[in-house]
A and B are shown apart, each in its own frame.
Chain A
Amino acid sequence: MRDMITSELQGRALVAGYGSGPALVSKTAINFAAAFGRPQNAIPGRRAVINDRHHELFKQNIKGAVLLFPACIGSTFTGMVLLQIMYKKEAPLAMVVQHADPLLIAGSVLAKVWFNCGIPVVEYSREDLYALVRTGDIISVNGVNGKITIQTVR
């Protein structure tokens, strides 16, 4: 017998908006500039594929997922490549990050102010995130009040 369990976490709302969809969980920090910096990231539909061989989500497309990850690392191109996938409508639906940094936030803020299309970001720093959310769970992120709702089939 499989049960649907709903749980709710309270994070810190950083960028407003609402996104709901399948969770994609990364336990390692993401270098978005390295991830989206390959020539194949110019191909429509493949813009948000993580092409960083150092990363656990290597070759996965983050488009249409709710991305959960610890932090951003690397280049100051980060905000621009995040803006670009939002501009081209290939972004994740929302992001939950353990430690928000200026480069991650820049992507969503630039997209909101210049193109009216920034995705919500919520910071949730506690380690239990990885025990409570698995890839494929349905997760809703509210960038206004910081609530993260998780629907899990276990």
Chain B
Amino acid sequence: MRIDSEQDAILKGDRGEVISRALRTLVDYGTVFNAKRLVPIKSAHLAGSFGTISYGAYFHVLDQILKEGVRVKVPTTINPRPGHDISLLNRIAFIKQNALDYKLKALGVIPNYSCACYEQDNIPAAGDYLAWAESSAVVFSNSVLGARTNRNSVLIDLCSAITGYTPEFGYLLDENRSGNVAVKIKINQMDATALGFIIGQKIVNKVPVIEHFDFSRSDLKNMGAAMAAAGSIGLFHVEGITPEASDIHTAFAGSEPESTITITQSDLNSLRTKHLDNSRLVVFGCPHLTCKEASDIAAHITGKRLTKNIWLCMMPQAKSDFEKTDYYKTLDASHVSVYCHCPLAALTVQLRRKQVLTSSGKLYYYLEGTEYGTMEDCLKACET
């Protein structure tokens, strides 16, 4: 890797031990992937937002950074809090949350506390180099916004945030952004989330190009999040929809696809639970809901006799906006809770068997004892 004179001085410790180590981390990390240089980034997004004692090494590094008074060098946002204050058990599980919040503040992180940072607070432009963590945000910014970030780990994100650099490899380079696998769809009732989940399972780590379908922005967000949980996809294209896929030829950069897969209605249906009445809690908002997404859900459940508890997990600013709407005022508060935390973290520690139904492919993958339903299934289940 070529190191310029400024970077060389940092590595030698001119700006302190911690910055030197952070840059050393990025050099070693990039070298494995044959990065030729470090490039400046426009922003960072951090995923390490849960204050649990299980992440001792993470806290140890954070403390070393703060001891030298180092702050982030580029605008940097952070993932949601874990719902540390919603139960006694969560207070114990996330006992270090207040300490973590304090450390993040000292680092100069923007306290957006949302995984959907690209909707507000950290909105990249096409072509921007970023160093983001949070798999759902990475896949969204690459695929839907045309920005460029690798799937960076927690702590790699922080090393980039405090140095302002990321190694140039992977999705930062044109040659890795064209499609490899063509995805044909034979579907009469589209469920973008389930489609993303199946694509993640089937093609794991390639760049899929999905044949044209008029997906909404929410569809693309939920589809990408599912791909990045069931697989390790960091970039996808949809013919005629996403910015680097004006047509199939462009999406594959003029080459032939390595392979073609076909996803059918029965593939999608295989994920859906047949027992909508099994659940006690229906969760929406992984990734976090926008005000519009929450309003669309509210429009379906308002005025109904609800039988389940319902969580709407939202971006903090979107929650404030939502609370001003008539939808919010007519919701049955005895059944519906509106939160800003991460539903996965909040529900991970529970003594009782979890009986959760969700329309999130990501939450379904990660949360034990969870069943998956389409948005329609989940809305129906609320009153079943």
Contact = CB atoms under 8 A, between A and B. Distances in A.
Interface in B128-177: 133-135, 138, 150-157, 170
Contacts of A114: 21, 25, 57, 60-61, 64
Contact of A110 (B52, B54, B153, B232): B153
A70 to B, nearest CB: 8
18 contacts: A31-B229, A33-B366, A41-B54, A42-B52, A71-B205, A74-B231, A75-B228, A77-B153, A80-B48, A83-B155, A86-B57, A101-B151, A102-B152, A103-B152, A110-B61, A111-B57, A114-B21, A114-B60
Contacts of B213: none
Interface of A: 14-15, 29, 31, 33-34, 37-39, 41-42, 53-54, 70-80, 83-84, 86-88, 99-103, 105-107, 109-115
B153 A103 contact: yes
Given A76-B151, A77-B47, A106 B156 contact: yes
Name A's interface SS.
helix
B205 A76 contact: no
**Chain B, interface SS category:** helix
Contacts of B28: 109, 112-113
A87 to B, nearest CB: 4
Contacts of B157: 76
Contacts, number: 139
B349 A109 contact: no
Interface string B341-383: 0000000110000000000000001101000000000000000
Return the 10 tightest CB-CB contacts between A and B, nearest first. Answer: A79-B153, A106-B153, A87-B57, A76-B133, A80-B154, A73-B232, A42-B54, A113-B25, A109-B28, A106-B156
A29 B204 CA distance: 8
Contact of A106 (B29, B58, B134, B204): B29
A39 B350 CA distance: 9
Contacts of A73: 200, 204-205, 229-232
B261 interface: no
A34 B33 CA distance: 25
